[in-house]
Amino acid sequence: MKAVATSLICTAALLIGVLPIGAQPFQEFIAIGGPVTALTNAKVIDGTGAPARTGQTILIEGDRITAVGSNISVPTGANRVDLAGHTVIPGLIGLHNHSYYTGGQGRAAQLSFSGSRLYLASGVTTIRTTGARAPYEELNLKREIEAGRAIGPTIFATGPYLTGEQGSQTMTRLQGPEQARRVVRYWAEEGVSWFKAYTWISRAELGAAIEEAHRHGVKVTAHLCSVGYREAVALGIDNLEHGLFANSEYAPNKVPDECPPGFRNTYADLDVNGSDVQATFRDMIQNDVAMTSTLVVYEISVAGRPPIDERVYQVLAPEIAEEVREIAIARRAGQGAIDPETFAKAMEYERAFVRAGGTLAAGVDPTGYGAAPPGLGDQRNYELLLEAGFSAPEVVQIMSGNGAKVLGVLDDVGTVEPGKLADLVVIEGDLEELGNLHNTKIVFRHGIGWDSPKLIDSVRGIVGIR
Tens digit of each residue's pLDDT (9 = 90 or more) over 109-145: 999 999 999 999 999 999 999 999 999 999 999 999 9
Sign of CA dihedral 159, 165, 167, 169: positive
Provide the CATH number for the domain formed by 2-91+416-459 in this structure. 2.30.40.10
pLDDT band at 8 (very low <50, low <70, confident <90, very high): very low
**DSSP 3-state percent helix, strand, coil across the chain (nearest 5):** 40, 20, 40
For the segment 275-284, the average pLDDT, to the nearest whole number, is 98
Mean pLDDT over 210-234 rounds to 98
What does residue 160 show for φ and ψ, rounded to 5 degrees?
-65, 155
Mean pLDDT for all residues in the chain:
94
| Res 266 pLDDT > 50 | yes
Q: What is the pTM of this model?
A: 0.94
The confidence score (pLDDT) of residue 6 equals 40
Please state, for a pLDDT cut of 90, what percent of the chain lies above it. Answer: 90
Please give the pLDDT value at position 169.
82
**Position 18 confidence tier, pLDDT thresholds 50, 70, 90:** very low
Q: Is the pLDDT of residue 388 over 60?
A: yes
pLDDT at 24: 59
Angle at 397 (CA atoms; ends 394, 403), nearest 5 degrees? 140
Are 235 and 210 contacting, i.e. CB atoms less than 8 angstroms apart? yes
Write the CB contacts of 64 (distance below 8 Å, at least 6 apart in sequence): 419, 420, 421, 422, 447
Q: Give pLDDT, residue 25.
A: 76
Going from N- to C-terminal start, the domains of the chain cover: 2-91+416-459, 92-407
Mean pLDDT of 31-35: 93
Confidence of residue 288 (pLDDT cuts 50, 70, 90): very high
CB atoms within 10 A of CB 215: 12
pLDDT at 406 over 80: yes
Residue 9 has pLDDT above 70, yes or no: no
Helices marked H in 245-374 — which ranges?
275-286, 295-299, 310-315, 318-332, 340-355
Angle of the 114-121 helix axis to the 452-459 helix axis, nearest 10: 150
Mean pLDDT score, 194-220: 98
pLDDT(386) > 60: yes
Examine the pLDDT at 163 and tell me if it is beyond 80.
yes
**CATH number assigned to the domain with residue range 92-407, chosen from the 4 options 3.90.79.10, 3.20.20.140, 1.10.3720.10, 3.40.50.620:** 3.20.20.140
- In the 8-state DSSP scheme, what is residue 109? E
Q: Do domains 2-91+416-459 and 92-407 have the same CATH topology?
A: no
446-465 residue pLDDT tens: 999 999 999 999 999 999 99
Supply the pLDDT for residue 30.
97
pLDDT score at 92: 99
Amino acid at residue number 316: L
**Looking at residues 253-259, what average pLDDT do you find?**
95
Model pLDDT for residues 72-118, shown as the tens digit of each residue: 999 999 999 999 999 999 999 999 999 999 988 878 999 999 999 99
Burial class (CB in 10 A: 0-12, 13-18, 19+), 189: exposed
User: What confidence score (pLDDT) does residue 272 get?
Assistant: 98
pLDDT digits (tens, 9 = 90+) for 176-185: 999 999 999 9
**Residue 175 pLDDT > 90:** yes
pLDDT at residue 336 in the model: 85
Are the C-beta atoms of residues 153 and 404 closer than 8 Å to each other? no
Alpha-carbon torsion (249, 252, 258, 264), positive or negative: negative
- 269 burial (CB, 10 Å; 0-12 / 13-18 / 19+) is exposed
